[in-house]
Amino acid sequence: MTKAFDAVKAEEEHLLCRSYSRYPLAIARGKGARLWDVDGKEYVDLLAGIAVTALGHCNDEVCAALEAQVHRLWHVSNLFYQEPQLELARLLLSTSHHGKVFFCNSGAEANEASIKLARRYMRTIRQRDAFEIITLNGCFHGRTLATLAATGRESLSDGFTPLPEGFKQVPPLDMAALESALTPSVAAVLVEVVQGEGGIVPLPGDWLREVETLCRKRDVLFMCDEVQAGFCRTGTFWAFQNYGLTPDIISTAKALANGLPMGAMLATDEVAQGFVAGSHATTFGGGALVSAVATKIVEIMLRDHLADRAAEVGGRFKARLEAIQRRLPEKIREVRGMGLMLGVELAVPGRPVWTELLRRGYICNLSHDVTLRLLPPLTIEEIDLINFATSLEDILQAA
Ligand SMILES: *Cc1c(COP(=O)(O)O)cnc(C)c1O
């Protein structure tokens, strides 16, 4: 690569724990759906920091909200009442059927909160010793010990055992397996409406509705991990709203503060009774600075109808990718996803295609070495998506 990049890479080897395998790219600057590397090369960003910078990089209105709050108050801890937290909570709750919020700092923490609330609600409110959490093969719920147990992928927990007990996995779409897993010790079923890290795998709405119905029948909580699919990405504000689901608890994070670390768990008033003062806490969660920024972000998402935009622009983008698939069926196996959460599963080795896209100035993710995962900013110009599709077809024709 180049001199500036080589210097950054060499320095990192000395300084950071080696827990990441990085792209051959050091980013210096961003604006909207554009990124520039340390050598000044421009890229179109179809990854958005893994579904985080949904309003694009350095959005002017978000920057203004940040600057205003920077000089007012950053952090006082959750020992204090804080109005910015309440303003955000009011706005977030206006987007769903939930009644209460718990703020935290990441997706894994939002899932930890969901798991803890489900267990404690069952024990203290329902007086039932129900603690098990059922998840689906192919899911991803985070990297803390409990969320690793929920994720259930051995390659991720290698060397970290023992993991916390009380987690079981079943294959998606297998109703019989789920029915037999729902023993009296189960507290909740946790699903992603569209599996993100799993390679953009949307679960069918009919099946998800059956899962929720079964949970109701067996008196088990139904929880959705909206960390990646939430915040307008799939064409509705929350992904579960595509199918009229009513999860008791949802976990959210990624796009909530457009790159500042923030997570939130939303629960119904009924289930939220599982927490009392002292049950759960975090030093940073819902601080004034991140709350003020997140409030502006959710306001913009609602004002600019970004869920509708994701459905429309994403629908046209998906149709374009599907047309390429029909022209090149030996190169593309399948196009999956909803809104601006799309996956192109290749029938040819993915790495060279991904590398050539990068060389041509397009950043996306390559999932499991076969699926191009596309999570662009919700504000991306349609021409960027059209040009990406043209480049992809050109590369695949030659591949
Ligand atoms: C990214 C992700 C998480 C974990 O979020 P972190 O902020 O990295 O802890 C959990 N669930 C889903 C669905 C995710 O995509």
263-308: pLDDT as tens digits: 999 999 999 999 999 999 999 999 999 999 999 999 999 999 999 9
- Cβ-contact 271, 221 below 8 angstroms: yes
> Taking the alpha carbons of 75, 81, 82, 88 in that order, is the dihedral positive or negative?
positive
Q: Is 5 a catalytic residue?
A: no
- b (16+ CB within 10 A) / e for 113-151: bbbbbbbbbbeeeeeeebbbbbbbebbbbbebbbbbbbb
pLDDT score of 34 = 98
Distance 34 CA to ligand 1 centre (A): 24
Q: Which of 100, 254, 296, 318 is catalytic?
A: 254
How much is the CA Rg of the chain, to the nearest whole Å? 21
Q: Is 225 a catalytic residue?
A: yes
pLDDT score of 399 = 85
Q: Which residues line ligand 1 (CB under 6 A)?
A: 106-108, 111, 140-142, 192, 196-197, 225, 227-228, 253-254
- Cβ-contact 132, 138 below 8 angstroms: no
pLDDT score of 364 = 98
Q: Ligand 1, atom 6: nearest CA belongs to which residue?
A: 107
CA distances to 32, 106, 192, 239, 316 from 228, rounded to whole Å, are: 19, 11, 9, 9, 21
- Cβ-contact 306, 372 below 8 angstroms: no
Q: Nearest to residue 171, comparing CAs of 205, 196, 134?
A: 134
Classify strands 42-45 and 362-363 as parallel, antiparallel or unpaired. Answer: parallel
Q: Which residue bears the tokens 């959005």?
A: 59
Of 153, 228, 234, 238, best ligand 1 pocket probe by most atoms within 8 Å of the beta carbon = 228
3-state secondary structure of 371: strand
Question: Residue 267: which H helix or E strand, with range?
Answer: strand 263-267
DSSP 122: I
* pLDDT above 70: percentage of residues in the chain: 100
pLDDT score of 82 = 96
pLDDT score of 1 = 58
* Residues across the chain: 399
CA pair distance 373, 139, nearest whole angstrom: 15
Of 133, 254, 282, best ligand 1 pocket probe by most atoms within 8 Å of the beta carbon = 254
- Indicate left, alpha or beta for 232 from its phi (over 0: left) and psi (-120 to 50: alpha): left
Sites in the chain below the pLDDT cut of 70: 1
Q: Which of 37, 45, 225, 248 is catalytic?
A: 225
Q: Ligand 1, atom 10: nearest CA belongs to which residue?
A: 141
- Cβ-contact 89, 101 below 8 angstroms: yes
Q: Write out the two tokens for 17.
A: 């724990």
Pick the atom of ligand 1 nearest to 195's CA: 13
